[in-house]
Amino acid sequence: MTPSHPTRLSHLLRLLRSRFAGLGAAVAALLLAVTAAAPAAPAPARTAATAPEGTTVADTAAPAGSPVEANGRLKVCGTGLCNEHRRPVQLRGMSTHGLQWYARCVSPGSLDALARDWKADVLRISMYIQEGGYETDPRRFTDLVSSAIDEATERGMYAVVDWHMLTPGDPHHNLARARTFFTEIARRHAGNENLLYEIANEPSGVSWPRIKSYAEQLIPVIRRQDPHTPILIGTRAWSSLGVSESADESEIVANPVNAENIMYTFHFYAASHRDPYYAALSRAADRIPLFVTEFGTQNYAGEGADDFAAARRYLDLLDRKKISWINWNYSDDHRSGAVFKPGTCAADGPWTGTSRLKEAGKWIRDRIRTPDDFTAAGTGGRP
């Protein structure tokens, strides 16, 4: 549903306060007064504008009918995620594969399809740190992520910025790099209302206090640039809430990260992660804020046969508890977990419909396309 003009105006006022903070108080007040008195005009499609010193500032309105238009800036509330009207929301979408290998799968055509044909709410931008990723060329990968954020923004989708650390499994190994990367991304996109920061993809081989220490050192760095965006924190044992290393969610419940507006991540692969994982997820969802930033219908490597029955059981639980989820992955990798058939990205599609989708792609596209129950200003819903 298209927001009312007062809603658009409030967005514009917030933008002006941010963008003109460096001006004198009297000039800024005059700008705000003139804007408030001007007649309302139809909102343009959201585009990215460049502010001083390379900072990216989002335009005032997302495309009509889009997830961001309906919900605005998100915030953690209780154990869930809420929109700007403090109504619980559940996001559903797809993760890219590593940008160093599959950047061609993140094209204008593929993202048009994800937003309009798949009707996805969220794009997870997966930037590997090692394996030929960020550490090899920080400038290139920072710009790739920033461009992908802009593309998601133009389409009215939320964007999860995924610091995809895997090996080494201790997030402290990359802490200095993370400080540099998130400082720039948060500064460039501080005006965006569609972001979430995932600061540690899958910690492994380290204790929960060690992961907590990393988060409590990095979060203030981000908050100095962007005080509003929700931050997602990877959990122990490949973001399994510790289950893959014989622990569970109780260590997080007893010793949570000392920060506001945060969530904890959980990853599962339906053909490998059976009842102990499902039970931990179900229990934890009633105690701490969770976001499933990665899952597959295959085994833990994203390979092998699809177990759609087990995946459906998980997603039904997530729907009941209104937990957001993102599927791995929106690429044409040869593994069964990549949704497109090999060669699709090199040929730049076709992206819409199901002709180029593997079985997992057809299944997850259907699940994403089921209607959302988003509400704008307390009335209506997204078509």
- Asked if 154 is an active-site residue, the reply is no
CA–CA distances in Å: residue 50 to residues 58, 92, 222: 9, 29, 20
If DSSP codes are grouped into helix, strand and coil, which group holds residue 182?
helix
Rounded distance between C-alpha atoms, residue 254 and residue 162, angstroms: 26
Q: Which of 350 and 377 is assigned the larger pLDDT?
A: 350
User: pLDDT tens digits, residue range 230-284?
Assistant: 999 999 999 999 999 999 999 999 999 999 999 999 999 999 999 999 999 999 9
User: pLDDT tens digits, residue range 38-79?
Assistant: 333 333 333 333 343 444 445 558 999 999 999 999 999 999
Q: Tokens at residue 376, please?
A: 């704008």
Is residue 170's pLDDT more than 70? yes
Strand (E) or helix (H) holding 278:
helix 275-284
- Side-chain-side CA neighbours of 315 within 13 Å: the count stands at 24
Give the residue carrying structure tokens 């039904």: 316
Of 154, 198, 202, 249, which one is the catalytic site residue? 202
Average pLDDT of the chain? 87
Is 95 in contact with 118 (CB distance < 8 Å)?
Answer: no
Rounded distance between C-alpha atoms, residue 377 and residue 381, angstroms: 10
Lowest-confidence range among 2-11, 96-105, 109-118, 328-337?
2-11
User: pLDDT tens digits, residue range 201-233?
Assistant: 999 999 999 999 999 999 999 999 999 999 999
Total-model pTM: 0.84
Residue type, 336: S
Burial degree of 6 (CB within 10 A; 0-12, 13-18, 19+): exposed
Q: Which residues does 17 contact at the CB level (< 8 Å), separation at least 6?
A: 28, 32
Report, as an integer, the average pLDDT of 149-172.
Answer: 98
Q: Which of 277 and 29 is assigned the larger pLDDT?
A: 277
- Asked if 294 is an active-site residue, the reply is yes
Burial degree of 190 (CB within 10 A; 0-12, 13-18, 19+): buried
